[in-house]
Amino acid sequence: MMWVRVGLPPSDLPFIIVSMNPWAFKRKVFFTVTVFIFLLLIVTIPIFLLVSPAERVDVSAPKNPQVLWSRAVLTSDGIYNAVSRVSSPHSELSSSRAYYRFNFYNSLGEIIASRDGSTSVPSLQKFYVFEDRIYTAETPEFVTFQWLNVPWQAGKSPDTDLFVQNTQKFVEEKSTRLDTSIRNRSFRAVENIEVVALLLDQNGDLVGLSRSFVDRISGETERSVSFTWPKEFVDSISTQISARLRSF
């Protein structure tokens, strides 16, 4: 029930008395909140379904990691090391063991050497795939890399915080050495770290390639890593070093 004094001048408005049944007020509030929640669900659920990546629940047909480039470097007579730079496109998928193939071709486009291997694929990351000591009697004209099978698993790969620092190159008589250190900036220890090193000349061409493994780095500590080549890479002017975890 409501009582209002009418016919009052504006100065008397503060003295207007309004009375409302408390149960009616509660029903009105409840109705308003219910309508608001209903409208909110109608708007937000379709938006969530549209913007949520399908890869979070669908692992039946994801994309393979993109191959950015592939190279090979002669290490001794007929022996080559090969590397491919790849990029994993999925933020919510990873693969504990993916299978691949390097192919070496001659000038006629014929396969003269091939190497199959496997590696782990992290979530949403660029990384190197490396194979060493590939033999061929002919000089390869170009190298290709292809994925044979990438069994994806739902879920992100473990986050790591590995930092490459203090890299130095030493050119000695008939040899080249590259020293660096890998720092684990996280609080927890990490194991089975793969470290790949590339030497590039002034044209950006790959002239040196090697790999090493570190068994374990404790939290907030670092480990030294060295790479050696039985050749004087005097013309190499830059280096690229990558460190990542391997699941096997």
Q: For 46-68, write each residue's pLDDT tens digit.
A: 554 454 444 444 556 789 999 99
Contacts of 89 (CB under 8 A, 6+ apart): 63, 65, 66, 124
Residue 158 has what pLDDT? 81
Task: Give me the pLDDT at residue 247, please.
Answer: 82
Task: Please tell me the predicted confidence (pLDDT) of residue 84.
Answer: 98
102 closest CA partner among 115, 91, 120, 89: 115
Token look-up 């280096």 returns: 239
What's the mean per-residue pLDDT of the chain? 85
- Predicted pLDDT of residue 31: 63
The predicted pLDDT at position 159 comes to 77
pLDDT value of residue 156: 86
Looking at residue 38, what is its pLDDT?
Answer: 66
The reported pLDDT for the residue numbered 145 is 98
C-alpha torsion 85→138→108→103, nearest 10: -30
pLDDT tens over the chain, length 248 residues? 444 444 444 444 443 344 455 656 556 656 676 766 766 667 555 554 454 444 444 556 789 999 999 999 999 999 999 999 999 999 999 999 999 999 999 999 999 999 999 999 999 999 999 999 999 999 999 999 999 999 999 988 887 899 999 999 999 888 999 999 999 999 999 999 999 999 999 888 999 999 999 999 999 999 999 999 998 988 777 999 999 998 87
Nearest CA to 80 out of 108, 107, 105 is that of 105
